Amino acid sequence: MKGKGNTLIVGLTWGDEAKGKIVDLLAAEHDIVVRYNGGNNAGHTVAFGGQTYKLHLVPSGIFHKSTTCVIGGGVVVDPKVLLEEISRHEAVAPRLRQRLLVSSRAHAIWPWHRKIEELSEKHQGKGKIGTTLRGIGPAYADKANRVHAIRLGEFLRPEHLRKKVERIVENRNQAFVKLFGEPGLDAAAVWREYAAYGEAIRPMIADTTAYLLAALDKGQRILFEGAQGTLLDIDHGTYPYVTSSSASAAGAWPGSGVPARAIGEILGVVKAYTTRVGEGPFPTELKDALGDQIRQQGHEYGTTTGRPRRCGWLDTFAIRYSARLNGIDGIAITLLDVLGGLPELKICTGYTVDGKALAEFPDDPAALEQARPVLEDLDPWTEDVSGVRKFKDLPRAARAYVKRVEEIIGAPVRLISVGPDREQTIRRR
C-alpha cells in the first residue's frame, strides 16, 4: 500500500500543541518531512542535547542530517524569514541548503502583505482577529484572488518579476495612500531587497510535487507536518477566529501535492490542557489564578509573538470533533508534566447552551461564545513526571488521566511527552 510508513502530524486544538517536538522525534523514522500549510505564523520548538531551537517556517525535521525537508506548495513563504532561519540553524542542521526544497508553487509574502494586515487589524479595533501580523492572511487572500499573487517559481524569472512587483506596488500604494492615508512603498527598494533574496533561495526552489511523487514511487517514508491546529483551520475551525490556511489534515493533500491515500497514519497532537492565542471563543478558558498557574508552569507564551497564551482545561468535546474530522489513528499528549502539582484537575466532556447539552461542536461562533463547559473532576497528582520514560511508572492519577482521554476521544494515546527534550517521551504500542 502506498501510504504505508507515511505519517501525518496534526494539531487537534488551536495550535501550540508542541507538534515541533513530535515531528523532530518521528523525523528520525522518515526520509522526508514536508510542511504543508501556514507560514512563519507558526512557532515550533525542538530541544535536544541541552539546547532549544525555535523554528517558524522550515520543517521541524531539519536537525536530522539525512532527512530531506520540503516546504510544500500550500505554505506561504516570507523569503527573508526563510533565509534568516536557514542561517540561524545551519550550524546544527548540516548541509541544510542542500536538503531543503521549497515548492515553486508556494506563494511569497511581501512587505505589502504585512503592511495591509497591520492596518486592517488596527482599524478593526475590537473586531480584530488577533493575528500574528506576519502577512499570512493577505498572502493567502492574494493567492485566492490570483491577480496580484507571486509564486516562488517566479523568482526564477527575475525580469518578469521586477515588472510585476512594480505593477503590484503601484496598485497597493493607491490603497495605502488613499484609503489609509499612509505612505506608500518604494517599488525599487522592495525589488532590490527581494531580488537578492530570490538569488539566495533560487537553488532550493523546485517542483516539490514531482519530487514527492517520485519519492513515493521509491517507497521513501514521508512525514507530513501540519502547522497551527484543526480549530484554526479556515474551513473547519472556529471561523472567523482562525488562520487563513487548511490547518487540519485536510490541508496535506493540496498543500504537499501527494494523493490523499498516500498520507498513511494520522497522529493528532494535544496538550494535556488547552490553550489559545489571539481572539475567539474558548469555552474552557480559566481566567483565574489556576489559569495563571498553568501559564507559569507551562511557559505558555507565544513562540512567534511572545503573547501570553490563554490557558484552560483540556477540552475533549472540541478534541473529539477534531479527531473525527481528521480521522486520526492515534494521539500524542504533550506537556503532561505541567499538570503535576495543580490543586485540582478537570476535563471538559461537553458543552451546554442555556442549560441544554449540545450534541455537536458548534459550527456557529455565537453558539460557541455562549457555550458553558461540562467539567468532570479527575484526581490530580503532585509528583514530577518529567523523568518518567515508561507508562507504568507514571503516578496512578496521571495514567487514569491518559486513559480517560483515550476513552472519550476513541483513539489510542501513542506518545506522551513529559518535557521539551526528545528524550522526555513515553512511547506506547
Catalytic residue positions?
16, 44
311 binds ligand IMP (CB under 6 A): no
User: What is the rounded radius of gyration, in angstroms, for the C-alpha atoms of the chain?
Assistant: 22
43 binds ligand IMP (CB under 6 A): yes
How far apart, in whole angstroms, are the C-alpha atoms of residue 308 and residue 278? 9
- Window contacting ligand IMP (CB under 6 A); options: 71-79, 124-132, 195-203, 255-263: 124-132
The only residue of 68, 208, 230, 243 in contact with ligand IMP, by rule CB under 6 A? 243
132 binds ligand IMP (CB under 6 A): yes
15 binds ligand IMP (CB under 6 A): yes
- 101-132 burial string, b = 16+ CB within 10 Å, else e? bbbbbbbbbbbbbbbbbbbbbeeeeeeebebb
In the beta sheet, which residues pair with residue 218?
Answer: none
- Window contacting ligand IMP (CB under 6 A); options: 96-104, 131-139, 169-177, 214-222: 131-139
129 binds ligand IMP (CB under 6 A): yes
**Residue number with CB closer to ligand IMP (131 or 316):** 131
88: which residues sit within 8 A by CB, 6+ positions away?
A: none
Residue with cell 523532530: 24
The only residue of 6, 13, 37, 41 in contact with ligand IMP, by rule CB under 6 A? 41
> CA separation (Å) from 38 to 132, 205, 207, 317, 336?
12, 18, 19, 25, 27
Q: What percent helix, strand, coil does the chain show, rounded to 5?
A: 40, 20, 40
395 binds ligand IMP (CB under 6 A): no
**Residue number with CB closer to ligand IMP (31 or 300):** 300
Q: How far is the CB of 60 from ligand IMP (least distance, A)?
A: 12
How far apart, in whole angstroms, are the C-alpha atoms of residue 242 and residue 152? 25
Count of other CB atoms within 10 angstroms of residue 160: 11
244 binds ligand IMP (CB under 6 A): yes
How far apart, in whole angstroms, are the C-alpha atoms of residue 238 and residue 250? 16
How far apart, in whole angstroms, are the C-alpha atoms of residue 317 and residue 262? 29
257 binds ligand IMP (CB under 6 A): no
Which positions from 136 to 165 touch ligand IMP by CB under 6 A, shown as an x/- string?
xx----------------------------
76 binds ligand IMP (CB under 6 A): no
The answer for 106, left when phi > 0, alpha when psi is -120 to 50, beta otherwise, is beta
How far apart, in whole angstroms, are the C-alpha atoms of residue 75 and residue 256? 9
**Residue number with CB closer to ligand IMP (224 or 381):** 224
Pairing of strands 345-353, 314-315: parallel
418 binds ligand IMP (CB under 6 A): no
Which residues 209-238 are close enough to bind ligand IMP by CB under 6 A?
A: 227-228, 232
85 binds ligand IMP (CB under 6 A): no
131 binds ligand IMP (CB under 6 A): yes
10 binds ligand IMP (CB under 6 A): no
**Residue number with CB closer to ligand IMP (63 or 241):** 241
Q: How far is the CB of 63 from ligand IMP (least distance, A)?
A: 19
Omega into 240 within 30° of 0, i.e. cis?
Answer: yes
**Residue number with CB closer to ligand IMP (79 or 280):** 280
Residue 151 identity (one-letter amino acid): R
- Window contacting ligand IMP (CB under 6 A); options: 14-22, 155-163, 341-349, 395-403: 14-22
**Residue number with CB closer to ligand IMP (222 or 242):** 242
How many of the chain's residues bind ligand IMP (CB under 6 A)? 21
The answer for 303, left when phi > 0, alpha when psi is -120 to 50, beta otherwise, is alpha
**Residue number with CB closer to ligand IMP (69 or 161):** 69
Q: Applying CB under 6 A, which residues contact ligand IMP?
A: 14-16, 41-43, 129-132, 134, 136-137, 227-228, 232, 241, 243-244, 277-278
